[in-house]
């Protein structure tokens, strides 16, 4: 099978396309022929250093996939050959999504929404699951609450805006001015240009903040939270501000989640959630995809076509 591997830790140029032996599903697993693979910040962060991820014999990146079940391992009852699925297999362990085939536990996948192409579906799993688990599971957002989403036009951000809106929240997003129209089109009630306005001077009495930026954004976000409000940091534990007072603060790491994927698929089919795909590139141009992603200017997601 064709696959993109990491020849050594470093810049995008270390991504190399090669031929590997095709995988076979073990007990409880399925083999998926990948049609498209999403690209996420965790991909280039792990490519650069290899930190935190338990790597296999051949280092491979990528966790967002959409494709067709090629084979089913012993004991699997959820799927059969030919089913269209999407998912975030094995995260945070190595999955090797930048490849023609992926194997993983069957429940790391869900049935692909029929209204989406494989490219669109591959944009969903990691980023949309992060937003869903942060808002629905961790913060338990309720109708009428005020939710502030930083980097609202990014991969996680544009899903967080739509999911918070679907949960009945009043949604505020930070983004550069050229992206404000896009954010309003997907449901943002209020948008702040972070380049010209300090968000803490423009918003207050927020129930939940989703911070996908890090740095000083966490400490600044505490200033806009209501007493007892929740700050959910996505970049890493080092970005959780010290001394949160009477606010609830913490770092959240996304997990494979069949129930979450099914909830996301339902929102898609109801017309309340739609992935924005910024750029589509072939698998052979994975290095270019990383270069574009690392510039931090993407609206929505970058996706690689495989099959």
Q: What is the pLDDT of residue 50?
A: 86
Torsion sign, CA atoms 43, 48, 50, 51 = negative
pLDDT band at 307 (very low <50, low <70, confident <90, very high): confident
| Average confidence (pLDDT) over 158-164 | 98
Fold of 2-124+275-305: Quinone Oxidoreductase; Chain A, domain 1 (3.90.180)
Q: What is the pLDDT of residue 12?
A: 97
Q: What is the pLDDT of residue 244?
A: 73
pLDDT band at 306 (very low <50, low <70, confident <90, very high): very high
In terms of Cα–Cα distance, which of 301, 90, 136, 117 is closest to 230? 136
| Angle between the N-to-C axes of helices 258-269 and 155-166, in degrees from 0 to 180, rounded to the nearest 10 | 70
Is pLDDT above 80 for 243?
Answer: no
In terms of Cα–Cα distance, which of 69, 74, 116 is closest to 89? 69
Is pLDDT above 90 for 55?
Answer: no
**Number of CB atoms found within 10 A of residue 8's CB:** 10
What are the pLDDT digits (tens) for 93-102? 999 999 999 9
Measured distance CA(256)–CA(107) in Å, rounded: 8
pLDDT band at 246 (very low <50, low <70, confident <90, very high): confident
Instruction: Give the residue carrying structure tokens 């005020």.
Output: 146
pLDDT band at 117 (very low <50, low <70, confident <90, very high): very high
pLDDT band at 54 (very low <50, low <70, confident <90, very high): confident
Percent of the chain with pLDDT over 70: 100
Measured distance CA(207)–CA(94) in Å, rounded: 35
Pairing of strands 206-211, 146-149: parallel
Measured distance CA(20)–CA(22) in Å, rounded: 6
Question: Quick one: residue 152, left, alpha or beta (phi over 0 = left, psi -120 to 50 = alpha)?
Answer: alpha
**Number of CB atoms found within 10 A of residue 28's CB:** 14
Is pLDDT above 90 for 135?
Answer: yes
Q: Give me the numbers of helices (H) and strands (E) for the chain, helices first please.
A: 9, 15
| Averaged pLDDT score across all residues of the chain | 96
Q: What is the pLDDT of residue 197?
A: 96
Is pLDDT above 80 for 83?
Answer: yes
Is pLDDT above 80 for 300?
Answer: yes
Q: What is the pLDDT of residue 242?
A: 84
Q: What is the pLDDT of residue 172?
A: 98
Domain 126-251 coded CATH 3.40.50.720: yes
Q: What is the pLDDT of residue 131?
A: 98
Going by the DSSP 8-state scheme, the letter that residue 176 receives in this structure is: -
Q: What is the pLDDT of residue 20?
A: 96
| Average confidence (pLDDT) over 19-28 | 96
Q: What is the pLDDT of residue 57?
A: 85
What are the pLDDT digits (tens) for 170-221? 999 999 999 999 999 999 999 999 999 999 999 999 999 999 999 999 999 9
Q: What is the pLDDT of residue 287?
A: 98
303 three-state secondary structure: strand
Strands (E), 203-307: 206-211, 225-233, 248-251, 277-282, 301-305
For the chain, which residues make up each domain, given as ranges? 2-124+275-305, 126-251
Q: Tell me the HSE value of 216 on the side-chain side, using a 13 A CA sphere.
A: 4
In terms of Cα–Cα distance, which of 257, 230, 225, 251 is closest to 239? 251
CB 50 within 8 A of CB 9: yes
What are the pLDDT digits (tens) for 58-75? 899 999 999 999 999 999
* Token pair listed for 200: 């803490």
């Amino acid at each position: 099978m064709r696959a993109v591997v990491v020849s050594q830790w470093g810049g995008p140029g270390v991504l190399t396309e090669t031929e590997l032996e095709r995988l076979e599903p073990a007990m409880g697993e399925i083999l998926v022929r990948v049609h498209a693979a999403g690209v996420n910040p965790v991909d280039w962060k792990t490519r650069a250093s290899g930190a935190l991820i338990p790597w296999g014999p051949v280092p491979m990146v990528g966790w967002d996939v959409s494709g067709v079940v090629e084979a089913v391992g012993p004991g699997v009852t959820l799927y059969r050959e030919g089913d269209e699925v999407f998912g975030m297999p094995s995260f945070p362990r190595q999955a090797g999504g930048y490849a023609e085939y992926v194997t993983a536990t069957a429940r790391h996948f869900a049935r692909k929404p029929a209204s989406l192409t494989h490219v669109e579906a591959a944009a969903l799993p990691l980023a949309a699951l992060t937003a869903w688990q942060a808002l629905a599971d961790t913060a338990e957002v309720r109708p009428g609450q005020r939710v502030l989403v930083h980097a609202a036009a990014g991969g996680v951000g544009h899903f967080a805006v739509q999911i918070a809106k679907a949960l009945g929240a009043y949604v505020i997003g930070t983004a550069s001015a050229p992206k404000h129209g896009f954010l309003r089109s997907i449901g943002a009630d209020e948008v702040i240009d972070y380049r010209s306005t300090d968000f803490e001077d423009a918003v207050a009495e927020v129930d939940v903040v989703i911070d996908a930026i890090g740095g000083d954004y966490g400490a600044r976000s505490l200033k806009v939270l209501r007493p007892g409000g929740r700050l959910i940091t996505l970049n890493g534990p080092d970005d959780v501000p010290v001394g949160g007072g009477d606010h609830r603060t913490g770092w959240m790491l996304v997990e494979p989640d069949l129930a979450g994927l099914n909830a996301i698929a339902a929102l898609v089919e109801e017309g309340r959630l739609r992935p924005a795909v910024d750029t589509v590139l072939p698998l052979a141009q994975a290095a270019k995809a990383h270069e574009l992603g690392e510039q931090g200017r993407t609206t929505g997601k970058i996706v690689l076509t495989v099959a």
